Amino acid sequence: MARYVLGAPDAPTLVYLHGITSSAASSSEALEHWAAAGYRVIALDARGHGLSPRWSQEELSDAGAILTDDLLQALTDLAQESHARRSADLPVAAARPVVVGHSMGAATAMVAATRRPDLLGGVVLIDPARYGTRGPEELRARGAARARMRGRDLADLPAALARILSDDEVPETEAVAGVWAQQHTDPALLVTGVVAPEAEWEQAMATLAVPTLLVTGDRPGSARVGTEGLALLGRLGNPWIETALVPGAGHDVRRCDPQAFHRVVDPWLRRYLGA
C-alpha cells in the first residue's frame, strides 16, 4: 500500500487511515498538525484509493478482510523496523503506534485491534462505519450512488472542484486533493458497497482490549455513531473505550470543527504516545 511518511523514524508513531473515496492527501492539514507536534505520521492510501493498487475481482469478494490485512501488514512492517533499529543500537519510539482512522479507516482500525492488539498501542476511531446497521441491498445502493457521483465529477472536473471549494468545512489546502482522491478511487470497490470489514460493530467494540478513543458528532443524518451510538457504547461498559462528542459535527468530525476535534484527540495522543 502507498504510504506517506512525515517525521523522524524514532518519533512516537501515528498511523492514519482515511475513509471511502478519500486518500491520505485529503487529510493533509491533520497530518501536518500531528507531524508538527512531534509525531512520526504514516498515512496509508487504502487499496483501491490514491496511489495504492486497484482491486482484482477475486479480492473484491473479501474486500473487508483484505483492508484489515493491509493494515496489519503495515503494522507488522513497523514492528520489524523497530526490531531492526534496536538490533543496530539506533533509537526507537518507546510506545507502539496508535492507529487513527476515519469512517472506513476507523472500522478497519477497530477490527485490526481486535485481531492483533500486540501490534498497536491504541486506536482513535473517528465516527466509524458501523457494519451490521445496514443491509446488503442498502449498502450496494449507497455504493452505486457514490460511483455515479464519481462519474459525474470526472465528467466535469472544474465543476467538481468549484463545488468542493464552496464547502466551508473543506480546507482549501485539501480541496484539490479531495477531487484527486475521487478520481483515484477504484469504482469496482464502490459498487460492492463495502465500507468496512464484515465484523458487527457492537460486538467488535465490546471485545476491544486496547486504549480506544471514539470521536463522533451529533449532526442529524450525517454522524454515523452520534448520540444513539454513544448510548449503546455506554451500555456495553467496555473500560478500554473513551468517547467524545463534538457538538454540531457531522460524519467528518475534524473538518466540521478542527479546533474542537484537536482539543479532544491531541491530549489523548499525548497520553499514550508521549510526544
**pLDDT, tens digit (0-9, with 9 covering 90-100), for 262-272:** 999 999 999 99
What's the pTM value of the predicted model, to 2 decimals? 0.95
44 vs 161, higher pLDDT: 44
> Mean per-residue pLDDT for 96-118?
97
Q: What local confidence, expressed as pLDDT, does residue 16 receive? A: 98
Q: Which of 220, 211, 209, 215 lies closest to 258 in space, CA to CA?
A: 215
User: What SS3 state is found at 13?
Assistant: strand
Quote the pLDDT of residue 218.
97
Domain that holds residue 251: 3-273
Q: What are phi and psi of 49, to 5 degrees?
A: -130, 150
Secondary structure E strands in the chain: 3-6, 13-17, 40-44, 98-102, 122-126, 212-217, 241-246
Q: Is residue 241 within 8 Å of 208, Cβ to Cβ?
A: yes
**How confident is the model at residue 23, as a pLDDT?**
96
CATH label of the domain that carries residue 91: 3.40.50.1820
| CA distances (Å), origin 155, targets 174, 181, 188 | 21, 15, 18
217 or 167: which carries more pLDDT confidence?
217
The share of the chain scoring above pLDDT 70, in percent, equals 100
Split at pLDDT 50, 70, 90, the class of 275 is: low
Give, as one character, the DSSP assignment of residue 102.
Answer: E
One-letter amino acid at 81 equals: E
Give 91 or 134, the one with higher predicted confidence. 91
* 242 or 1, which is more confident: 242
**The pLDDT of residue 149:** 87
pLDDT computed for residue 140 by the predictor:
87
Residue 151, pLDDT > 70, answer yes
On the question of pLDDT at 103 being above 90, the answer is: yes
Say how many domains are in the chain. 1
Over residues 175-211, the pLDDT tens digits come to: 999 999 999 999 999 999 989 999 999 999 999 999 9
Q: What is the pLDDT of residues 28-59, one digit of tens each?
A: 999 999 999 999 999 999 999 999 999 999 99
The model's pLDDT over 115-149, given as tens digits with 9 standing for 90+, comes to 999 999 999 999 999 988 888 888 889 888 888 88
pLDDT in tens, 232-259: 999 999 999 999 999 999 999 999 999 9
Mean pLDDT on 54-71: 95
Q: What share of the chain is helix, strand, coil (3-state, %, to 5)?
A: 50, 15, 35
